[in-house]
Amino acid sequence: MFENLVNQEAGKQLAADIKANRLPGAILLAGPEASGKLTAALETARILSCHQKPQGKWTCTCPSCLQHKALICSNLMVMGPRDCSLEISAAAKAFTEAHFINAKYIDAARYLFLRSVRKLTLRFNGILWEGDTNLNKIGSLIEEINEKLEPLDFPRPLPDVNEVKKLCEEIAKLTVKLENDFLYDSIPINQVRNMEAWAHIKSEEGKKTVIIENAERMQTSVRNALLKILEEPPEDVVFILITSKRNAIMQTILSRVRTYNFLNRNQEGQKEVIERVFHNMDFKGSINEYLLTYLPVTPSELKAQARVFYNSVASRQICDIEEIVKKCQNFYPRIELRIFLEYIIQYMKPLLKSQAGSEALAQAMAKLRTCNDNITLWNQKPVSALEVLLRDMFALNNRFGGVFCAAM
């Protein structure tokens, strides 16, 4: 069990509870980003539905395990926001390079790419999105992605190297559009209600699993709706919540789940994951740092543009917002926006040295969150949202007597 979960003691704890038949109907996987929580959640879903005894070997070929490994099982529902585009790009590179050299791990690399795409498309299950005004547009995009995935899927023989590379590039572009245009930064309450209706339909075979990623981002109304089903969960459904911020989870939800803690892997552990999963033997940094190498705009450029923006506030001089957005390629994928705003926060940390600065920082953080929400939730254009943010930051700086200082 959990053979593909590297260097996490939580995998052994989950395996022991499953073997002893003491896994509760709702669990929480908590720990830092890129620590294997979604991998563990998907493995838990597969193991619970496995038809073979002993249960749960990764090499199992029962119909349920094959469907779960390909992430096409109808008993699996995945919800919640996630930055998928970088993992898809990294998986595409590992897959195309393995195909080019006819590597012995080609099947593993093939699964890696297929699963990386489906970790995103699973979140657009038609059942979840029933009643959403974007359902038809989403359906068209999903159909196009699936058509391009078909020649790459098992058990078909792979096309030639150039065709595989072309298909991977086309799929990556489509998934970026799907994620950026339609994936909500917080789960809509209608999706929780649709999920609840699905969960109460008895499964024909095996357990159903509902995975909710970034559970801390749920709004109060959504948390309350989820709480109701966690209080009386259907007998054949397991709920797996995932978070990197356990303290942000509502206490009444925490009281109804068993927590499994994931730790930040040490440098050697992270290197092992990069080698085993992405087959890169040369990279020396963390998993997050490795994935960031696939950003269309480098982190250093995002940092530089964040400095331009922040120094504009500090000097009380208007900067060229359109030029910043252009150099950041319109913050596409949206993870670039998060990184850009995080750099602005870093530049503001010296404000903590004074009382006025601390108050200004708290108010500035609220403005940054609003800017992020305006772009990711309400689809405001980045130029417009940043212009509003700049105006609000100017006002803050004036209100607190020019407390913002230029960053070097």
pLDDT of residue 316: 92
- 356 φ/ψ angles, rounded to the nearest 5 degrees: -65, -40
- The distance in angstroms from the start CA to the end CA of the chain is 50
pLDDT of residue 1: 83
Distance CA 166, CA 146 (A): 15
Determine the Cα angle at 168 with ends 166 and 174, to 5°.
105
pLDDT of residue 400: 95
Identify the segments of the chain with pLDDT beneath 50: none
Which pair of tokens denotes residue 352? 């903590």
The count of residues in the chain is: 408
In sequence order, the β-bridge partners of residue 335 are none
What residue type is assigned to position 96 of the chain? Answer: T
pLDDT of residue 348: 96
